[in-house]
Structure formats: structure tokens, C-alpha cells
Chain A
Amino acid sequence: MRLFFLSLLIIASGGVLPLLFFRQFTLMRILGATFIGAGCCFGLRDAFARLAGGGAASASFDYLSTLTLAFRIDGLSAFFLLAIFAVCLLSAVYSFSYLSDPRKALGTAVSYFFFSLLTAAMALVVAAANMITFLLAWEIMSLASFFLVVHDHRRPETRKAGYLYFVFSHVGAMFIVAAFGVLYGGSGGFEFDATGLSQTAKLWVFGLAFIGFGSKAGVFPFHVWLPHAHPAAPSHISAVMSGVMIKTGIYGILRMVGILELYTPAVGTVVLVFGVVSGVLGVVYALGQHDLKRLLAYHSVENIGIILIGIGIGMIGVATDTPLMALLGFAGGLLHVLNHATFKSLLFMGAGVVLHKTGSRTIDALGGLLKKMPVTGATFLVGALAICGLPPFNGFVGEFLIYLGSFEGVAAETPVLALSLLAIVGLAVIGGLALACFSKVVGVVFQGEARSPAAQAVDEKGGAAMLLPMIVLAAACAVIGVYPAAFLYMPLQAAAALGLEVGRIPLESVARLSTNITLAAAILLAALLIVWALRRLLYEGKPIGCSGTWGCGFTQPTARMQYTGTSYAASILEFFKPAAPLEEDHPAVAGLFPDRTHYRSHVHDIVELHLNSAVVTPVTWLFDKLRWIQHGDIHLYIGYILLAIVVLLFFV
């Protein structure tokens, strides 16, 4: 544990030092990025050692002489620590070039402060071993990320996003506190221990915790804050928030599963159904977005859905005593946690470079960036292929495991079969929609011709610290995808920490699976090389010309005539109209020589659309009715306190 706390100390100093040296702009950024990065390196080393068989470690301290702060790092914690430290390390490097405006020196220093706080708090959340420690770390994490979201607080939509995030994270935290309360009521201690709880109480704990953690993870329908907060934050923070912070919600759900040992088919079914709904609707809403970072944020909802499908399949596997299904489900879901951390932070960093260079996040205003930003374009392409789950990249491996786990369930009797069917078809639809969505992003943003002057005048100069993390992440996507054997043992260690008896499950089938993936990827690469060589051979000594795109007889094209992302997604969105109502604003064309016209469209998130009428209005109505309690008379307030004390005396 000493190495772990040392790493947190270094990370924290990476937050404090910039505050002291904010007048020297470059020095400040070097200090911030180096210290946070170095701390993450130490933390990574510790997490690797734990996963490689170092066993669990624990430590505890007295706090306020009545409470104990207890920490424990087991396989599950170490697995999440790995993702947290890796992504934060690369984001710290990235931030050096990204936060490059010397006029905002103090703001940058404050941002480094909260960044370090967020990193440390996330690490503490997954290392916490009792409720008090967990909630403390959880609150620090929520608040630090809130301040990072409102970094650009001069813009009204940022403030709105921050407000929404604040409300959601605290309502979520309240649900977690309630869950812990029930847990405390059963066990009588602050330790995570559910031995004394009845089955009903366990269901209550899980239900409350699922809502609380689910709102942090961005599970549909608790995801409303996510598409607002992620785009508002600076891009390296979006990468951290989407890549790892929302995963603390997944960690919480998994930890609860482990503590409660609540392996009934019903609970697994709930998790699975939430997963499928989040997965499909997340990607449908992503398709309808015009803002690049908002689109990526909705994809987090989708990928959290895929992770939940894996966990749900795993839980159903445990409940029905199908060990292989359980192992494949959990391992697939956990591996997808790591995979999503790599490709989603890569994509957010890519979007950050685009935003940094063009000043625009509007998909339909960009275009042709690949030619002038080859590194950004190529790494973004790798990230896009990975998030679509296409071989030979890492997204495929995680989804492949979940597929195999689901197919294990197909052999079972009817209720489980129906769930497996849902998972498989859900995954297939998600995969197809993700492909549509990312072919849109790559095609419209990075390919074709520039649609605006800002997209025309771009380059990659002076962004080395931004490009390097993206290259590392893209390489990680390819390595995990081609050679998963080295990475598969990590989720297995994590699953072992959940109390699943990994030992009695035939592990050689999982090992064989990874050799198969490697073999298949190698054959695909070989085929690609052969066809590429064939192509070279065929072009030997041939005349190769250059000309404009064939315009089907039309000779005066402009860049604005290209297919836009909006039109690309239109027909698919039409199909999902009931779940994704489309609002269009364009006047009808009238007369032979119509006037200048316009077109605006917006895809409504049904939860956001109905949040106001279904939740906000009744709640305000209720509190309106209760307003008489608060009338401003101090004597009556003292009376309330007295009454409360008397009532409490009777109960305690």
C-alpha cells in the first residue's frame, strides 16, 4: 500500500505546485503534467504488481478518532486502478499542449489542481474498504469533476451543464447513501458486509445502489447529465471522465454484486435489460448529434450498456450455475471496461485536437482533416474501428467474449434463452449502429473536403504532447486486439476478487480463445499484405492521374454539396423515431425562385424531454405544498428541533 499512497501524494503535489507557480505559465504546466504523470506511473506499477499475483493489500487509519478510514486493494480494485492511472497519465501529458492559452494562467492552475484531486479521488474510491471512506472519496470525486466541468464557466451552456451534473451526481450519491444505510442497518458496521441481511434487504440495497451508481455510469435513463457535462469539460478531462470516471459507477455495481452475493436470475435480468436499452438508445442518440463531443458522450452510454450486458450475462450465468457463461460474461464486461477506457479517451483526445485547431465541434462544419492532420486522423480512425468492435482491434475482443457468454446461455432452458437472445441481438444491433455512427464521424469530419475556412486552415504543429498519448492509445487498441492473451488474465483476476470460483472453471478454453483471436488477426493481416502487394504489382508502371471527383455530369461542385452527417444519419433515425423524436425546422420551398432558406434539426432525448413533466414538475408541486412548514418564525424552528430530539430519544 505504501507505493499506492506515495503515488497519490505525488499526484496531489502535481495539483498544488501549479497553484504556486501559475505566473510562470510553461513551468506551471510542466510541473502539473510531470507530477501527475509521475504519480500515475507509480500507481500503475503498484496495480500491475497486484494483478500479477501480489494478492490483496489493506491499510487503515483513524479519522476524527471515531471513524476508521480503511483501504483495501484486491484484484477488482487493481484492475480499475490500472485503467484510472493509465488514462490519467496520458491525459496529463496531453494537457500540456491542450491548455496552451497563457491568458488563462490561473484558470489552468486551478484546472490542474482539480485534475489531480479527481485522479486521487478516483483511485481512493476503488481502494476504499468501508462506507465512510468510500463516500468521502466519492464526494471528492464528484466535486472535483464538477469544477472541471465548469472550467469554461463564462459560457452559459457550460454553467447549465455543470448545474445539471451537480444535481445528478448528488441525487445519485443520495441513493448510494440510502443503499449503504440499509446495509448498515443489517450488519451494524461501516464495513462492506452483507452477511446479516435478509434477501429483501439485499434487493433494496442493490436497487438503490444500482440507481446511484448507474447515474454516475450514465446508464439509460439516468444518463441525462452525461451528454451535457462531457462536451463542456476540456477535452483531456472529457477523456478522463468518459474513459474512467464513469467506470467508478460500474465498479460500484460490481462491488455491490460481490458483497451482496445476490446471484438470482431476476437481478441479472434487470442489469442485462438496462444494458441492452442503454446500448441501443445510446448509439441511436449518438447518431443524431451534430456536436462531435456530444456524440462521443452518447457513445459512453452505449458502451456502458455493453459492459452491463456482459455483467448481466455473468450474473445470470452464476445464478443458473453455468460457470463458463458467468466467466465469459464477467471477463468480457470487465475487459470492455479497459477497452472503452483506451479507445474512448483516444477519441476524446482526437476530438480535442480538432476543437483546439479548428475551434469548432460542429460535425457538419468540418471535413477533410485527415489530409492536414495525418496523425490525429489515423489514430482517430483506429479508435473508431475499435469502438465499432471490428477486428483486429480491442473492442472486438471484449464483445466477442460477451457474445460467447451469451451463446452459452442459448443452450439453457427457455427464460435464460430469451435473455441470451436479447443480449445477442442487442449486441448485433449496437455493433451495426456504431459502425454507421463512426463511419459518419470519420467520413464527415476527417474525409472529403473542408466545409468551412476553419477546417481548411489546420495543421498539427506544436501539439506533440497531444499527439503522443493518442499514438500510445491507438497502439494499445491494436495490441490488445491482436494479442489479447497478455490482457485476458487481468479481468480474470478481477472476476476472481468478486468471489467467483475461477478455479473450477476450465480456463484453458479462455486461453484457447485468445490464441484463436491472435491467429485470426494474423491471417487477416497476412491477407491484407498479400492483397496490398498484389495491388502494387498491378499498378507497376501504370499511368496514374489526378483529377476532381466525378460529379455525375455536374461541373461546379462546392464543398457544401457534400453529404452531411445529418443527412447520413437521417434514414436510420427515421427508423428509431418513437425513441428518438426528431424536431426539424425548415420553411417549405415556395415559388419558382425561392428565397434563402435554412434547416435546423434536433434529436430529442426522450428522457430529457420527459424529465421536466415527469419528475421536476411533481417534485416542485410537492414542495410547494409543503412550503407552510418554512414560515420564518425562529421560535417554531426551535420547536422543530426540540420535537425532533424528543422523537429521537423515544426511538434510540
Chain B
Amino acid sequence: MIDSLLLWALALLTAPLFAGVIFKVKAFFGGRKGSPLLIHYYTLAKLCKKGSVYSTSTTFLFKLGPVVSLAAAATALLFLPMGGQPPVLTFDGDVIFVLYLLGLARFFTIAAAMDTASPFEGMGAAREAYFPIICEASLFMILILFYRLSGDLNLGAYFAGENPRGFWQTAGSPLLFVVIALFIILLTENARVPVDDPATHLELTMIHEVMVLDHSGPDFALIEMGALLKLFFYAAMVARLILPLQPGHPLLNLGIFSLGLLLVYVAVGITESVMARHRMDRVPKFVLTSFALAFFATIITLEFLR
């Protein structure tokens, strides 16, 4: 319990660090030196020092949006096993709760965006409402597979202890599909290239960044932190799947888990460097790929299990 709480706190603290890796990788591909690894800490600190300017169109929902999105992401991480340790909290069906919790965060982010009466933010909000629908379907597809493999319906049963390795032993190659599907979901849910480009110069083509255009100061810091935690949440799942090793010593376990995380963040950076953003009307097809992969993985595994 104490270990798990410490790991949770560590996750909150290091999520910005890992995200800095993405910038470094992109800089490397661009032949630049890039921003320092700790850039996200500097940004957060700078934002926290500032005041805010609120739009006259906004209501209390605008201020509630960042709070809910950060609180939901932090709560979701409580249910996530890290480094093979059991999670802080777990119960039967906590996966469903966590997914709907992230849905709650999404609702409030959208509400905060719609509060500003800006057409651009409305555009981003509409996309934010659309793409995750498909993500949710494929996530539940993956859950069905995991439930079938482990007989449990909680994150602890999937990602703690020896479990991911057991999955590889029974499901084998179909689990590769799941890894790719989860990675696509990660890219979509966290507004990364090729779904969304946070670094574009045009508000018209953004999703997440345009939704938070009007947020400033500590509010914006809360949003950034929430987004970093959400990215960490998905990255941790992929990391456990690709490096399911569990040597035994807690520090060694943690080391392997961190290496896995690093790999995922580097992969995100590489994807961002070598790919261009899809046209918006092509994105659903891209996201649907993840559903197809998860679906096939489930079907194939069922055949094996029989």
C-alpha cells in the first residue's frame, strides 16, 4: 500500500519528465538541440506564477474544467499498477470506472471550451467528442480479451505482478495487435500526431490545443498537468505490455518499468517526427484501425483458447 502510494506520487512527479523525452526525440530528428528535458517543469512553474485573464463569456464551468480534468486523471492513476506493484486502489470493474472517469474529464474539457463562445474552440470540442467514441469501443474490445485471458475485470489483474507475461504466453502474437491498438488509442486520446498536432500554427486544425486557447496561468497549468498524467496513464499500460519482465527486486522492477515508459515516449516522439498529421476526415479511419486490430486479436485468441 505504502509502496503503491509512493509509486503513485512518483508518477505524478515524473510524468512531465517523460513527456520531455518526446521533445528531445523530435529535436533529434529535426537536427536541433531542442528544449531541455525538464521543459515541462519550467512551463508549469512559469504558468503557476502568472495570473489569469478570463473571457467575459465564461461561467464557473470554465474554471471547473481544469480542476475536473486533473482530478480525474490523478484518480485514474490510483487504479493503475506501476512497475508490477499492485495499485493503490482496486475493485472488481475498476477499469470501467476509470474509463468513464476519463470520460468525465473529457466532458468538462469540452464544456470549458464551449464556455468561451469561440468558434475555434467549438471546432476542437466537436473533434474531441468524436474521436474518443471509437477509442472507447476498441478499449472495451481489449478489455474483453484481457478479461478472457485473466478472468478478472480490474487493472491490477492485467498489469501487476507476472500477468502481462502470462498474457504473452497464452495469447502470443495477437497481443502484438493489442499493443499497436493501444498505441493508436494513446496517440488519439492524448492529441498527438497523426491525429492532432499540438505544434501547428493554425487553430483550425487543432483538437486539444485549440480547446484550451483561452485558459491561462494556473488554470492552464492544471490542464497541462492533467494531460501529462493522462499520457502517462496510457503509456504505462503499453510499457507493461511491451516489457512484462519482473526480476523480483523492487528497484529492478521499477527500472524495467521506467525503461518501458521511456521506449513508449520515444516511440511517440519518432511517430511525431516521421509522420504528418492526417486530414481530419481521415482520422476516424486511422482510429478504427485500432478497433479492427483489437477485434481480430480477440477473435484469434478465442480460437487458441478453445
Interface residues of A (CB under 8 A from B): 367-368, 370-371, 377, 381, 385, 388-391, 396, 400, 403-404, 407, 410-411, 414, 417, 420-421, 424-425, 427-429, 431-433, 435-436, 438-440, 442-444, 447-449, 509, 512-513, 516-517, 519-520, 523-524, 527-528, 530-532, 534-535, 538-539, 542-552, 557, 559, 561-563, 567-572, 574-575
Known: A444-B114, A520-B94. A436 touches B57 (CB 8 A): no
Cβ-based interface call for B6 (8 A): no
- In the complex, the answer to whether A548 meets B132 with C-beta atoms within 8 Å is no
- In the complex, the answer to whether B117 meets A448 with C-beta atoms within 8 Å is yes
Stretch at the interface among B21-29, B102-110, B167-175: B102-110
Residues of A within 8 Å of B284, CB to CB, are: 575
Stretch at the interface among B62-70, B177-185, B251-259: B62-70
Known: A513-B92, A523-B78. A548 touches B55 (CB 8 A): yes
Question: In whole Å, how far is A647's beta carbon from the nearest beta carbon of chain B?
Answer: 58
Question: In whole Å, how far is B185's beta carbon from the nearest beta carbon of chain A?
Answer: 12
Question: In whole Å, how far is B151's beta carbon from the nearest beta carbon of chain A?
Answer: 7
- In the complex, the answer to whether B222 meets A535 with C-beta atoms within 8 Å is yes
The A-contacting residues of B in range 254-306, CB under 8 angstroms, are: 280-281, 284, 298, 302
Known: A439-B129, A527-B71. A542 touches B117 (CB 8 A): no
Cβ-based interface call for B42 (8 A): no
Known: A428-B139, A431-B103. A542 touches B52 (CB 8 A): yes
Against A, the Cβ 8 Å flags (1 = close, 0 = not) of B35-48 are 00000000000001
A571 to B284, CA, bound (A): 10
Pairs across A and B, CB under 8 Å, 13 listed: A391-B101, A421-B141, A428-B136, A428-B137, A432-B136, A509-B92, A523-B89, A532-B67, A542-B52, A549-B118, A563-B122, A567-B126, A568-B129
- In the complex, the answer to whether B148 meets A549 with C-beta atoms within 8 Å is no
- In the complex, the answer to whether B114 meets A442 with C-beta atoms within 8 Å is yes
- In the complex, the answer to whether B125 meets A439 with C-beta atoms within 8 Å is yes
Interface residues of B (CB under 8 A from A): 48, 50-57, 59, 61, 63, 66-68, 70-72, 74-75, 78, 89, 91-94, 96-97, 100-101, 103-104, 106-107, 110-111, 113-123, 125-127, 129-130, 132-134, 136-137, 139-141, 143-144, 147-148, 151, 153, 203, 213-214, 217-219, 221-222, 280-281, 284, 298, 302
A447 interface neighbour in B68, B78, B89, B115, Cβ under 8 Å: B115
- In the complex, the answer to whether A391 meets B100 with C-beta atoms within 8 Å is yes
A436 to B107, CA, bound (A): 8
Residues of B within 8 Å of A411, CB to CB, are: 147-148, 151
Chain B contact residues: helix, strand, loop or mixed: helix
Known: A389-B100, A432-B132. A443 touches B125 (CB 8 A): yes
Chain A contact residues: helix, strand, loop or mixed: helix
A567 to B127, CA, bound (A): 11
- In the complex, the answer to whether B67 meets A440 with C-beta atoms within 8 Å is no
Residues of A within 8 Å of B107, CB to CB, are: 385, 388, 390, 435, 438-439
Known: A431-B136, A528-B68, A562-B117. A548 touches B56 (CB 8 A): yes
- In the complex, the answer to whether A448 meets B51 with C-beta atoms within 8 Å is no
Question: In whole Å, how far is B116's beta carbon from the nearest beta carbon of chain A?
Answer: 5
A562 to B298, CA, bound (A): 43
Residues of B within 8 Å of A414, CB to CB, are: 302
Residues of A within 8 Å of B221, CB to CB, are: 538
Residues of A within 8 Å of B54, CB to CB, are: 544-547
Residues of A within 8 Å of B55, CB to CB, are: 546-550
B70 and chain A: residue at smallest CB distance: A531
- In the complex, the answer to whether A524 meets B75 with C-beta atoms within 8 Å is yes
Residues of A within 8 Å of B115, CB to CB, are: 443, 447-448
Residues of A within 8 Å of B140, CB to CB, are: 424-425, 427-428
A403 to B154, CA, bound (A): 13
A575 to B291, CA, bound (A): 15
